[in-house]
């Protein structure tokens, strides 16, 4: 239940960031959603979130965010292969 509530809240945050045209907050929401999906064992969904996060981070030139997203994306891919 808590994961479902968190996913719903993060989905709302992501929608609001997109509506506001705020890519930094969009990237944060995607990163957090990716972490939640990985924690729930939904690694393919986590990878998708982190791929989007990575794309935004690169567009913004946000190197620290890019490093985080790239690392999490690879962790998720490794988990998908291990499924």
What digits encode the pLDDT tens for the residues 71-80?
888 887 888 7
pLDDT at 64 over 80: yes
Per residue in 11-28, is it b (16+ CB within 10 Å) or e — as a string? Answer: eebbeebeeeeebebbbb
Identify the pLDDT of residue 34. 93
**Higher local confidence (pLDDT), 14 or 80:** 14
Q: Which two tokens stand for residue 55?
A: 């794309």
Q: What is the pTM of this model?
A: 0.88
Q: d(Cα 78, Cα 83) in Å, to the nearest integer? A: 9
Q: Single out the residue of 35, 39, 64, 63 nearest to residue 49, CA to CA.
A: 35
Question: To the nearest whole number, what is the mean pLDDT of the chain?
Answer: 91
**Residue 80: exposure state from Cβ atoms within 10 A (0-12, 13-18, ≥19):** middle
Tens of pLDDT, residues 35-52: 999 989 998 999 999 999
């Amino acid at each position: 239940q808590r994961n479902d509530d968190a996913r719903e809240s993060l989905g709302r945050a992501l929608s609001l960031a997109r509506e506001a045209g705020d890519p930094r907050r969009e990237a944060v929401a995607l990163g957090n959603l990716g972490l939640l999906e990985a924690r729930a064992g939904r690694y393919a969904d986590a990878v998708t979130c982190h791929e989007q996060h990575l794309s935004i981070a690169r567009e913004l030139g946000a190197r620290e965010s890019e490093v985080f997203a790239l690392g999490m994306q690879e962790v998720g891919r490794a988990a998908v292969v291990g499924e």
